[in-house]
Amino acid sequence: MEQSRKRAKPGRNPGSGSRTSRPRQAEVAQLAGVSQATVSLVLSARSDGKAATISEETRQRVLDAARSLGYAHDPAARRLAAARNNLLGVFSFTATFPTDVQHSYYPFLVGVEQEAAARGYDLVLFTGSSSGGAGAAGPDALSRVRLADGCLFLGRHAPGAELKRLVADGFPVVHLGRREELEGLAWVGADYVSASRAVVEHLAALGHRRIVLVREADDAPASADRQRGFLEGLAAVGGEAGPGAVLRCADPAGAVTAERVRALVADGVTAFVAEETDTGAAWRALDAAVREAGLSCPGDVSLGLLGSPPPDLAAAPVPTGFDVPRHQLGAAAVRLLAALVAGEEAQEPLVVCEFRTGATAGPPGRRP
Amino acid sequence: MEQSRKRAKPGRNPGSGSRTSRPRQAEVAQLAGVSQATVSLVLSARSDGKAATISEETRQRVLDAARSLGYAHDPAARRLAAARNNLLGVFSFTATFPTDVQHSYYPFLVGVEQEAAARGYDLVLFTGSSSGGAGAAGPDALSRVRLADGCLFLGRHAPGAELKRLVADGFPVVHLGRREELEGLAWVGADYVSASRAVVEHLAALGHRRIVLVREADDAPASADRQRGFLEGLAAVGGEAGPGAVLRCADPAGAVTAERVRALVADGVTAFVAEETDTGAAWRALDAAVREAGLSCPGDVSLGLLGSPPPDLAAAPVPTGFDVPRHQLGAAAVRLLAALVAGEEAQEPLVVCEFRTGATAGPPGRRP
DNA sequence: TCGCATTGGTAATGCGCATTACCTATGCGC
DNA sequence: GCGCATAGGTAATGCGCATTACCAATGCGA
């Protein structure tokens, strides 16, 4: 008998002092002298004024009974019956939970948590069940998220097929990060385009006309957006946007050498911008190359970073660029998800990145 | 009608191509030409040879049907019906996603995840609903963990009353960290007593007799254990274990000054050990004080750390001490939890900490 | 005085699944 | 050829809750 695990005593005596099993609504009802249905109505009282059908007196009796019994909802039953249990899921496809503060998702999670708390939701965190987890293989991989009312997905590794399935089933899903290729998938993202353009415009205002973007050979939307913003900015300010304006390299450290930088500068380039990525490779390479080339910054060349520097380079000269408002992104994602759960059709705009003046940009040097 | 959210078309036609709702076992059954019960039997086939009641042919038909429909269990229903859904919960009570850089359960989680995966469990992470979360206040705070088959609790902040309640309800619970005051609560912990004693004995073997323990004024079991091991070690080696042997201070940085250290050394103390805590305050203070006092280590004084140094001090002189096997602790906790879920009575022993020779201990200096 | 709306509450139902009691062939020994 | 065991499967039930259809009592206008 499995249920022996749930009810310690199959035949218990409800009146006696020593209880041994979690109370059900039925027991609360008995104690309050009402029906189970009434208990449910009282305890799930949605603040929607709609349910004025229980008298205040009865309400109090039920609440007292529930309190004295220490009643707590069974989340599984709640979800099964009503398709609502006030829980929001967060799924990250990393091997382990991204609770390590070093982890790049961490800042998002902080925002997610705050917003969820503010809206009265509890959170449940799922991970991509690294190796041999139960659902690791099959389409079950994502099925656990159905424990929650809706789910937020982090990271570009979220498999499209699975997500599509959830969406098709009408399960509320929000993806954190631009994800337009999946029809019907809700997402929130940072406005890298505008932010990148702003950096270019800042450099242009300082007098730069020949600016080069160093980016990795990744095709992530985030990279594409930055490049687009960069080119738009260049065009807007009448800068030179020839094919040489973008340095796309699979291995930034190998491609962006001191020599290369020196050559470009000699050719008239006065400023460089790098995209931010997980590894920060582009910025790292650019920084090293400039330094090694013996160029002073921002004396000889100006540098811009389309994002935030990696933690280990956060010190000293703060790069001119922008900050991705990760907390706000997380919060926006939760807002959107909450709206979907509530059946609304809300749409979250792109979240604006904040320009960071920094100390790596100045007027162009006076090299020929 | 709420269910319109679950079933896109109340009256759907099972044969037509465009499906729009997640399939149930009933639909799989229909496709396979069997009953829902059969589908359940096949799909939940426990490897326990017990269930040989379905013919191989039927089994295959069901499996095929399930696959072609992309069937996936509903975790909520599963849990409700069977009290099992193959999920283990992990509850961390620290400020939900700890903003304190030092304070991360990450290493534990790594072990937890590996072991869970190895045992075919999926994980769900709950957090301490820091601020105004839904269940933040009431006894509901922990009720969500019932979504899982059992739950692991991290951190000393897990409220006893709630835990007791879960245990009393027969819900499988394991606490990571010693927790003996709660009758019936299963836990796993590191053997700080033995490990601390070993450090003292190591110092004693080098010739030290006057050793002082610097600890915080916390009453956590982990602190008490270290002190106990320290005193036991001192007693075992015939060291001087007077009341001055333990420096218990609320504010290590303020209490353990260069002067204080100098005075103690002048008084004949040749070695110090500090306990490890979240913040590493004790070790930090000791390290700074010794350095500031102009004492060389291990030339003038030997130092020991009952645990691991905080990340920012991990460099250079590796402290003599021990390492808490966090991965193994996490794994042990999962093993224990799995046993409880399975209804067994398993008991996990304390996990042994590994001695770390380090470079901060040597023979006593030759001060008078 | 009757009809009708409103208030306050309840019985019944079903969510999706696991489980169990039970039923129907077969096979087998004697 | 009969009784009985066994394999293979199914109908029915309930987990704990939200929801809905429905019912009883009361108020109120005409």
| Chain D nucleotides with an atom closer than 7 Å to a protein C-beta | 7-12, 14-20
The DSSP H or E segment spanning A106 is helix A106-118
What pLDDT is stored for residue B242 in this prediction? Answer: 76
The answer on pLDDT for A132 being more than 50 is: no
Q: Phi first, then psi: give them for residue A323, nearest 5 degrees.
A: -110, 130
Chain-wide mean pLDDT for chain A?
82
Helices (H), chain B: 25-32, 36-43, 56-69, 75-82, 106-118, 160-168, 192-206, 221-236, 252-255, 258-266, 281-292, 326-341
Rounded to whole angstroms, the maximal C-alpha distance in chain A is 95
Residue A68: both structure tokens together: 């004295």
CB A311 within 8 A of CB A98: no
Pick the CATH number of A192-323 from 1.10.10.10, 3.30.70.20, 3.40.50.2300, 3.40.228.10: 3.40.50.2300
Q: Report the distance from CA of residue B214 to the C1' of nucleotide C15 in Å, as an integer.
A: 59
Residue A282 DSSP SS3: helix
A43 is near strand D: CB distance < 7 Å = yes
- Report the gap between the CA of A142 and the closest CA in chain B (Å): 9
What pLDDT is stored for residue A317 in this prediction? Answer: 85
Distances (CA, A) of A118 to A41, A188, A216, A331, B133: 24, 19, 38, 10, 7
The DSSP H or E segment spanning A161 is helix A160-168
Q: Report the distance from CA of residue A54 to the C1' of nucleotide D25 in Å, as an integer.
A: 15
The single-letter DSSP state of residue B190 is B
Cβ contact, residue pair A79, B83, below 8 Å: no
What pLDDT is stored for residue B14 in this prediction? Answer: 33
CB B291 within 8 A of CB B321: no
Region label for A298, one of left (φ > 0), alpha (ψ between -120 and 50) or beta (otherwise) = alpha
The answer on pLDDT for A196 being more than 50 is: yes
Distant-in-sequence, close-in-space partners of A278: CB < 8 Å, separation ≥ 6: A104
Cβ contact, residue pair A133, B124, below 8 Å: no
Residue A367: both structure tokens together: 């090299």
Name the amino acid, one letter, at B99: T
| Nucleotide in closest CA–C1' contact with A76 | D16
What pLDDT is stored for residue A96 in this prediction? Answer: 67
- Report the gap between the CA of B241 and the closest CA in chain A (Å): 40
| Chain C nucleotides with an atom closer than 7 Å to a protein C-beta | 7-12, 14-20
Which residues on A lie below 8 Å from B117 (Cβ)? 129-133, 136
Please tell me the distance from the alpha carbon of residue B43 to that of residue B62, in angstroms, as a whole number. Answer: 8
The answer on pLDDT for A4 being more than 80 is: no
CATH architecture classification, B87-190+328-341? 3-Layer(aba) Sandwich (3.40)
Kindly indicate whether the domain formed by B192-324 is annotated with CATH number 3.40.30.10. no
Q: Report the distance from CA of residue B55 to the C1' of nucleotide D13 in Å, as an integer.
A: 25
Please tell me the distance from the alpha carbon of residue B21 to that of residue B7, in angstroms, as a whole number. Answer: 5
| Shared fold status for B87-190+328-341 and B192-324 | yes
The answer on pLDDT for A334 being more than 70 is: yes
pLDDT tens digits for B352-363? 999 999 999 989
Which residues on B lie below 8 Å from A97 (Cβ)? 90, 106, 109, 113, 123, 125
Distances (CA, A) of B199 to A74, B189, B212, B326, B355: 48, 18, 12, 19, 7
Nearest CA in chain B to A22: B169
Of the pLDDT bands very low, low, confident and very high (cuts 50, 70, 90), residue A211 is: very high
Average pLDDT over every residue of A117-125: 86
What are residue B306's DSSP bridge partners?
B275
A78 is near strand D: CB distance < 7 Å = yes
The separation between CA B195 and the C-alpha centre of its own chain, rounded to angstroms, equals: 18
For D6, which residue's CA is nearest its C1'?
B53
Nearest CA in chain B to A84: B2
Which of the two residues, B263 and A347, has the higher pLDDT score? B263
Cβ contact, residue pair A121, B127, below 8 Å: no
Q: Report the distance from CA of residue B78 to the C1' of nucleotide C16 in Å, as an integer.
A: 7
Q: Report the distance from CA of residue A42 to the C1' of nucleotide C1 in Å, as an integer.
A: 38
Nearest by CB: A117 against B77, B113, B131: B131
Highest mean pLDDT among A40-44, A110-114, A351-355: A351-355
Percent of chain A with pLDDT over 70: 84
What pLDDT is stored for residue B140 in this prediction? Answer: 62
Distant-in-sequence, close-in-space partners of B74: CB < 8 Å, separation ≥ 6: A80, A143, A146, B22, B24
Interface test with chain B among A1, A47, A101, A110, by most B beta carbons within 10 Å: A101
Q: Which of B181, B202, B193 is nearest to B227 (CA)?
A: B193
The answer on pLDDT for A10 being more than 60 is: no
Distances (CA, A) of A91 to A108, A144, A246: 12, 10, 35
The answer on pLDDT for A312 being more than 80 is: no
Cβ contact, residue pair A97, B122, below 8 Å: no
Query: Are β-strands B122-127 and A122-127 bridged in parallel, bridged antiparallel, or unpaired?
Result: antiparallel
Class at the top of the CATH hierarchy for domain A87-188: alpha beta
Which residues on B lie below 8 Å from A144 (Cβ)? 75, 87, 122, 124
Nearest CA in chain A to B21: A169
Please tell me the distance from the alpha carbon of residue B79 to that of residue B19, in angstroms, as a whole number. Answer: 26
Interhelix angle B25-32/B36-43, rounded to 10 degrees, is 100
- Report the gap between the CA of A32 and the closest CA in chain B (Å): 19
Interhelix angle B281-292/B258-266, rounded to 10 degrees, is 70
Percent of chain A with pLDDT over 90: 40
Extents of the domains making up chain A: 2-72, 87-188, 192-323
Q: Which of A331, A294, A42 is nearest to A174 (CA)?
A: A331
Q: Which of B346, B337, B332, B344 is nearest to B87 (CA)?
A: B337
Kindly indicate whether the domain formed by B2-72 is annotated with CATH number 3.30.870.10. no
- Report the gap between the CA of A107 and the closest CA in chain B (Å): 9
Of the pLDDT bands very low, low, confident and very high (cuts 50, 70, 90), residue A270 is: very high
B/e letters for A293-321, b = 16+ CB within 10 Å, e = fewer, are: bebebbebbbbbbbbbbbeeeeeeeebbb
Q: Which of B211, B42, B25, B81 is nearest to A6 (CA)?
A: B81
What pLDDT is stored for residue A218 in this prediction? Answer: 80
pLDDT tens digits for A23-58? 899 999 999 999 999 999 898 876 554 556 888 888
What averages of pLDDT result for each successive group of 10 residues across chain B (368 residues)? 36 35 89 92 70 81 90 90 84 57 69 88 75 44 85 79 84 88 88 96 92 89 91 87 86 89 90 88 90 87 91 79 92 93 82 92 72
| Nucleotide in closest CA–C1' contact with B7 | C15
What pLDDT is stored for residue A289 in this prediction? Answer: 93
A12 is near strand D: CB distance < 7 Å = no
Which of the two residues, B157 and A271, has the higher pLDDT score? A271
The answer on pLDDT for A325 being more than 80 is: yes
| Nucleotide in closest CA–C1' contact with B37 | D10
